[in-house]
Amino acid sequence: MMEQYHALKAQAGECLLFYRMGDFFELFFDDAKVAAGVLDIALTSRGESGGESVPMCGVPVHAADGYLARLIRAGHRVAIAEQVETPDEAKARAKAEGKPSSKVLVAREIIRFVTAGTLTEDALLEPRRANRLAAVCEVRGSVGIAACDISTGRLELEECGPDGLATALSRLGAREIVAPEDWEPAPADATLRPPSDFASERGRQRLQELHQVATLDAFGDFGRAMLAAAGGLLAYLEHAGRGTMPFLLPPTINATDATMAIDEASRTSLEITATQSGERAGSLLGTVDRCVTSAGARLLAEDLSAPLARKTEIEARLALVRFFHEDPILRGDVRLALRAIPDVARALARLVADRGSPRDLGQVRDGLAQARDLHGSLSRLPDRPALLDTLLPDLTGHGALVDELSRALVPSPPTERQSGGYIASGYDHALDALRETSGNARRAIAAMEARYRQETGISALKIKHNGVLGYFIEVPARHGDALMKPDSGFTHRQTMANAVRFNSVHLHEEASRIAEAGGHALAAEEAHFEALVEAVVTAREAIARTADALARIDVAAALAERAAEGDWCAPVIEDAPCLEIVGGRHPVVEAALTKAGERFVPNDCVLNLPDGGLHRAQALPEQGRTGATSRLWLIGGPNMGGKSTFLRANALIVLLAQAGSYVPATSARIGLVDRLFSRVGASDNLARGRSTFMVEMVETATILAQATTRSFVILDEVGRGTSTYDGLALAWAVAEAIHEKNRSRCLFATHYHELARLAESCDALSLHHVRAREWRGDLVLLHEVAEGPADRSYGLAVAKLAGVPGAVIDRASTILAKLEKGREETGGLASGLGDLPLFSAAAQAQQEECDTLRDRLSGLDIDALSPREALDLLYDLKREAGES
Residues ≥6 apart with Cβ < 8 Å to 884 = 849
DSSP 8-state class, residue 587: H
Name the class of domain 313-398+539-564.
mainly alpha
Three-state DSSP class for 530?
A: helix
Q: ∠ at Cα 404 (402, 406), nearest 5°?
A: 65
pLDDT for 828 equals: 52
The strand pair at 712-716 and 675-679 is best described as parallel
- CATH number for domain 429-509, candidates 3.20.20.70, 1.10.10.10, 1.10.1420.10, 2.30.30.100: 1.10.1420.10
Domain 313-398+539-564 shares a fold with domain 429-509 = yes
Look at residues 67, 74, 79 and name the one whose alpha carbon lies nearest to residue 15: 79
Identify any residues that bridge with 154 across adjacent strands, giving them in sequence order.
149
* pLDDT score for 17: 96
Closest CA to 113 of 62, 206, 178: 178
As assigned by CATH, the class of the 567-801 domain is alpha beta
CATH architecture of 2-114: 3-Layer(aba) Sandwich (3.40)
The three-point CA angle 524-529-535 to 5° equals 130
Handedness of CA 556, 559, 565, 566 (dihedral sign): negative
Residues 312-370: pLDDT tens digits? 999 999 999 999 999 999 999 999 999 999 999 999 999 999 999 999 999 999 999 99
Distance separating alpha carbons of residues 701 and 349, to the nearest angstrom: 43
| Cα gap 781→881, rounded to integer Å | 57
Q: For the domain made up of 130-256, give the CATH fold.
A: Nucleotidyltransferase; domain 5 (3.30.420)
CB 747 within 8 A of CB 605: yes
Helix (H) or strand (E) holding 731: helix 724-737
Pairing mode of beta strands 142-149, 133-139: antiparallel
Query: CA 461, CA 133: separation in Å to the nearest integer?
Result: 60
Q: What is the pLDDT of residue 513?
A: 81
Rounded to 5°, angle at Cα 552 from 565 and 223: 135
Rounded to whole angstroms, the Cα distance separating 718 from 746 reads: 13
Q: Are 158 and 256 in contact (CB under 8 A)?
A: yes
The pLDDT score that the predictor gives to residue 776 is: 65
Which residues lie across from 780 on neighbouring strands? 773
Q: Specify the pLDDT at position 782.
A: 76
- Residue 688 has what pLDDT? 52
Distance CA 789, CA 769 (A): 6
N-term to C-term CA, the chain: 82
- Residue 488 is predicted with a pLDDT of 86
| Whole-structure pTM value | 0.84
Q: Enumerate residue ranges in the chain where pLDDT < 70.
A: 101-103, 609-629, 682-690, 723, 774, 776-779, 791-794, 798, 819-820, 822-848, 882-884
Query: Do 225 and 139 contact (CB within 8 A), yes or no?
Result: yes
Question: Do 571 and 657 contact (CB within 8 A), yes or no?
Answer: yes
d(C-alpha 582, C-alpha 666), whole Å: 5
Residue ranges per domain, the chain? 2-114, 130-256, 313-398+539-564, 429-509, 567-801, 838-883
- Give the angle subtended at the CA of 300 by the CAs of 296 and 302, to the nearest 5°: 120
Q: What's the rounded Cα separation, in Å, for the pair 669 and 572?
A: 5
Provide the 3-class DSSP secondary structure of residue 473.
strand
DSSP state of 485: S
